[in-house]
């Protein structure tokens, strides 16, 4: 098994990228809050993992021409087409469709090969959050006061892409692994009530044959070129991320200004946990701690794999980080370090990912 793992830092110097909404607990009910959570005695702003995934999907559509899976509503559920052959986002981001239709159980679920954390502020709210007091006055009559929170911070987020799972669909009766409906799921008698389900299975089989999918009893596997394309584009999209709330008032570039990328032969992510942290109001990078961690993980890091470090010159200067010192400490792990811009690091890392598919 092979996982492409990474850490990104997003600079948000004056932003409100993912809002909680109006705080109904306050008497005047006119304060728009950002999302925060508490850890220890401190509270931290964050961007939800769903929001990050939404930006990621949208970027793949915008810059890589991904045809996104359409949304449907049945009873109280909203779900996608659950067709990972046709729609690459169903493949990479997973899905769940759970209900009966025409008397047939059409439940299919897929564990997302792409996993990501929320984007967590490195700085706690006391060092990053403020409230903008404003007045709406474009109407006749008295101005209406309102308040909205925003922050100045750096967000960190981590992700892991299961390269073996991309383009591989299991047919196992287990939550997350029953990825496709097949003829085994169809009733003996075809009628107008279940006609749509028969058609769905037949169209999936037809598409699989057209694409050259290897169709085994327990799994279907797409051709390597398709799997390679989907995995590499999912990672390349990081460099072009766009999205976020309140962009009209707090315009923010959310493309990562610092990335760490590494292939790992295990479902772990060495970048989660505090290698980037706050120290008395400053943002620090503990290269020595990460180096020791990578040294401990040498047995699950593929032979010849590099640690890819990409950074924006202005960003690291503003933090006071010495990149030469960081690289020197990271190389003490025994792993070769590639150092370049964010674009260069991602493009070189993708070559390693593509080579995995042959």
From the list 55, 35, 47, 252, the residue with the least C-alpha distance to 149 is 35
Residue 59 buriedness (CB in 10 A; 0-12 / 13-18 / 19+): buried
Give the per-residue pLDDT at 24. 77
Chunked mean pLDDT (size 10), the chain, 358 residues: 97 95 77 92 96 98 97 85 97 93 90 98 95 84 85 98 98 94 91 92 97 96 98 98 94 97 96 94 96 96 96 98 97 97 98 96
From the list 68, 267, 284, the residue with the least C-alpha distance to 156 is 284
Give the per-residue pLDDT at 301. 97
From the list 223, 260, 254, the residue with the least C-alpha distance to 17 is 254
Give the per-residue pLDDT at 23. 77
Give the per-residue pLDDT at 77. 81
């Amino acid at each position: 098994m092979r996982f492409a793992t990474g850490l990104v830092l997003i600079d948000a110097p004056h932003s409100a990228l993912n809002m909680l909404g109006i705080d109904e607990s306050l008497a005047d009910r006119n304060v728009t809050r950002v999302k925060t959570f508490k850890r220890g005695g401190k509270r931290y702003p964050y961007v939800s993992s769903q929001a990050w995934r939404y930006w990621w999907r949208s970027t793949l559509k915008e810059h890589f021409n991904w045809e996104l899976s359409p949304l449907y509503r049945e009873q109280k559920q909203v779900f996608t087409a659950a067709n990972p052959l046709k729609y690459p986002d169903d493949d990479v981001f997973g899905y769940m469709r759970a209900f009966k239709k025409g008397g047939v159980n059409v439940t299919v679920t897929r564990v997302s090969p792409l996993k990501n954390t929320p984007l967590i502020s490195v700085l706690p709210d006391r060092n990053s959050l403020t409230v903008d007091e404003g007045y709406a006055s474009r109407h006749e009559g008295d101005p209406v006061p309102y308040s909205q929170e925003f922050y100045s911070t750096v967000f960190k987020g981590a992700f892991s892409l299961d390269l073996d799972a991309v383009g591989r669909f299991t047919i196992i009766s287990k939550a997350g692994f029953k990825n496709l409906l097949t003829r085994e799921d169809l009733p003996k008698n075809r009628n107008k009530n279940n006609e749509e389900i028969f058609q769905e299975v037949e169209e999936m089989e037809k598409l699989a044959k057209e694409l050259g999918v290897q169709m085994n009893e327990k799994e279907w596997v797409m051709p390597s070129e398709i799997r390679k394309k989907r995995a590499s584009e999912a990672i390349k999209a990081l460099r072009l991320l766009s999205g976020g709330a309140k962009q009209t008032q707090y315009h923010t570039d959310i493309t990562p200004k610092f990335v760490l990328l590494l292939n790992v032969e295990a479902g772990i992510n060495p970048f989660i946990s505090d290698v980037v942290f706050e120290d008395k109001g400053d943002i620090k990078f503990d290269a020595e701690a990460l180096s020791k961690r990578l040294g401990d993980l040498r047995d699950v890091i593929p032979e010849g794999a590099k640690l890819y470090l990409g950074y924006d010159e202005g960003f690291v200067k503003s933090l006071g980080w010495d990149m030469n010192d960081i690289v020197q400490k990271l190389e003490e792990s025994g792993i070769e370090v590639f150092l370049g811009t964010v674009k260069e690091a991602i493009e070189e890392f993708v070559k390693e990912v593509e080579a995995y598919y042959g």
